Structure 1
Amino acid sequence: MSLQRLVVDFMFFVIVTYIIIPNLVLRFIGIGTFKRQKSEGVALTFDDGPDPDYTPRILDVLERYNVPATFFVVGENAASYPDLIKEIQGHGHQLGIHCQQHLCPWFLNPWATWRKWDEGVATLERLTGQNVEWIRPPWGLFNLALWLWLKWRKKKVVLWNVEGLDWFTQRRPEQITDRVLKKMSVGSIVLLHDSGGQPRAPENTVCALESICRKLTVERRLPVVSLDLSK
C-alpha cells in the first residue's frame, strides 16, 4: 500500500471518528441531547447574543406578553455586554452557553475545543454567579472532543425541533412567523436569534417575535413556558 493511500485512509478515519459519528449520534439520532422539552408547552430560545441593539428589544417583547425564554449566549459577547446578561437574568429568563466564540466545531482541534468551552462556561458563571448546566454548540454541530467534554463536564445539550431560519436578511418577519407556527407543537423547542447571521437579520426576528407571541398566547392559547429538561 502506497504512502498516499495510507494518508487518505487515515484522513478518512479521522473525519469519520472526529466529525461524522458524533454528529450522527448527537444531532441526528439525538442520543444524549434534547430536541424537545418535558413541559406541556413550547419553549423559545435565542442564540448568538447578547446584542446591544436587538437583545433589549426582544426582552421588551417577551415582557409585554409575559413570555419566558432561554438565551444561549456567546461568551465573548457576554463579556462585552455584562449589563445585558444581568438584564436577561433580571427579567427571569434562563441562560446557557453557546461557546466562548461562535466557531464551527468541525475545525477545532481537541485542545481548542476544550479550552473554548471551558472559557465560555467560566465567563458566564462569572457574570451570573450561577452554575452553567445547558449548552448549545454553534450550528448544532459537534466533534468527538466536544462529546467527551460534555461527558466529563456533565453538561446538557439543548438543540431544537423548530427553527425560524431567521439568520437570513431576506427572511421576512411573516415568513419566520409562519414557519415557526406551522412546525410548533406541545414540547417544541424553538430556535431564534437575537444576534449573528447576516447583517440586520435580527431586525426581522424582533418583528416576527411580536407576532409569534401574540398568536401563541392570545389566539392559539398554547402555553409558552420556561425550558424544562428535568423529568
Structure 2
Amino acid sequence: MPTFLLPSLRPLTVQRLRDSLLPRVLGPLVPGAVVRGPADARAPALYLTVDDGPDADGTPRWLDALARHDAAAVFFLSADRAERHPDLVHAITEAGHRVASHGDQHRSAWRMRPRTARRAFDRAERVLEEATGQPVRDVRPPYGRVTPGLVRWAAQGHRRIVLWDVMPGDFVASRPPAVLADEMVRLARPGSIVTLHDGPPARRAVAALDLALPRLRAAGWRFPLLPAA
C-alpha cells in the first residue's frame, strides 16, 4: 500500500480509519468527486475547508485566523444556518473565501429517501446562491455520506462533490490543539484538502491552525483557495 494511504504509523483507531484512510481510498471512486486539489511538489498547496457554519461565535474566529495566516478557505455552509446569519455569509465572501453547500440541515443522505435528499440539496443551493449572489457548485454531503442519487444530481447540475484527505478530528473534544496540529502537519501532502469545523469545535480548530500553518509555511507550503470546478 502506498505510504500516503496510511493515516499514521500509530495503531489505527476507528476514527482514523473513518476520517483519514477511507476517504483517501474510497473518495476517488466516487464519480466526479475530489479528495485533493492541484498539487505542485515545488510549491505545495494545502487547501483548507470549514464545515458546519456559519456560526455566531466560530465564524469570526475563522475569518480572523485565516487573515492572520494569509490563507483562504471554502466554507461548506448549512442552509438553515445561513438563513439565520446572512451577515456572516456576506463576511465570508467579502474576505475572499468561497461559500459551498453542506446541505440544508446537516442531515445524512444515507437516512433520507433519494428524492428527499435531492430536494434538500436543491433548497440549500437556492438559499446559498440567494445569499451570495454567486453560483454555488461545490457540495459536501454531511459526514461525507455520498449516495448514487447525489452523484447523479451533482453530475446533472454540473456540480462538484468535494471530500477530503485530511480530517484531524477537531470535533472530538478530548483532542487538544497541539495534537490536531501535529496530525495536520503529518498527514499533509501536496494538494491535500483539509476538513475542519465551525461551531463548537472552532476554538480548538483555530488554535490548531495557529500552530500548524506557521510550521508548514516555514517548509514552503501555501494555503490558497481551492480552485473552482
Q: Report the counterpart of residue 221 of structure 1 in structure 2.
A: 220
**TM-score, with normalisation over the residues of structure 2?**
0.83
> Quick one: distance in 2 between partners of 1:30 and 1:146?
10
Q: Report if the CA contact (8 A) 2:28-2:34 is conserved.
A: no
Higher Cα radius of gyration: 1
Correspondences of 1:196-207 after superposition (within 5 Å): 200-207=200-207
Instruction: Kindly state the Cα deviation for residue 58 of structure 1 after the two structures are TM-superposed.
Output: 1.1
- Structure 1: which 5+ residue stretches go unaligned? 1-22
**TM-score, with normalisation over the residues of structure 1?**
0.83
Instruction: Kindly state the Cα deviation for residue 39 of structure 1 after the two structures are TM-superposed.
Output: 4.7
Identity of aligned residues (%): 34
Q: Report if the CA contact (8 A) 2:31-2:151 is conserved.
A: no
SS at match of 2:53: coil
> Quick one: distance in 1 between partners of 2:152 and 2:69?
40
> Quick one: distance in 2 between partners of 1:96 and 1:78?
11
Counting helix residues as a fraction of each chain, which structure ranks higher? 1
Aligned-partner residue type, residue 118 of structure 2: W
> Quick one: distance in 1 between partners of 2:171 and 2:151?
26
Matched, 1:210 2:210: yes
Q: Report the counterpart of residue 174 of structure 1 in structure 2.
A: 178
> Quick one: distance in 1 between partners of 2:90 and 2:39?
26
Q: Summarize deviations over 1:160-188 as a string: whole Å, max 9, x none.
A: 11111111111110111011110001111
> Quick one: distance in 1 between partners of 2:227 and 2:26?
19
Q: What is the number of residues matched between the two proteins?
A: 202
Q: Report if the CA contact (8 A) 1:38-1:229 is conserved.
A: no
Runs of 4+ in structure 1 over 2 Å off? 25-31
Q: Summarize deviations over 1:121-158 as a string: whole Å, max 9, x none.
A: 00000000001111111011122321221122221011
> Quick one: distance in 2 between partners of 1:35 and 1:141?
14
For the aligned residue pairs, the C-alpha RMSD in angstroms reads: 1.8
Correspondences of 1:119-138 after superposition (within 5 Å): 119-138=123-142
Select 1:185's aligned residue among 189, 199, 220: 189
Q: Summarize deviations over 1:181-203 as a string: whole Å, max 9, x none.
A: 100011111111112xxxx4322
Instruction: Kindly state the Cα deviation for residue 28 of structure 1 after the two structures are TM-superposed.
Output: 6.0
Q: Report the counterpart of residue 100 of structure 2 in structure 1.
A: 96
Q: Report if the CA contact (8 A) 1:26-1:32 is conserved.
A: no
Q: Report if the CA contact (8 A) 1:44-1:224 is conserved.
A: yes
Aligned-partner residue type, residue 173 of structure 2: T
> Quick one: distance in 2 between partners of 1:95 and 1:183?
25
Correspondences of 1:1-231 after superposition (within 5 Å): 27=27, 29-40=29-40, 41-195=45-199, 200-217=200-217, 219-228=218-227, 230=229
Instruction: Kindly state the Cα deviation for residue 27 of structure 1 after the two structures are TM-superposed.
Output: 3.2
> Quick one: distance in 2 between partners of 1:161 and 1:27?
8
Aligned-partner residue type, residue 37 of structure 1: G
> Quick one: distance in 2 between partners of 1:77 and 1:39?
33
Q: Report if the CA contact (8 A) 1:43-1:190 is conserved.
A: yes
Q: Which moved more, 1:128-137 or 1:208-217?
A: 208-217
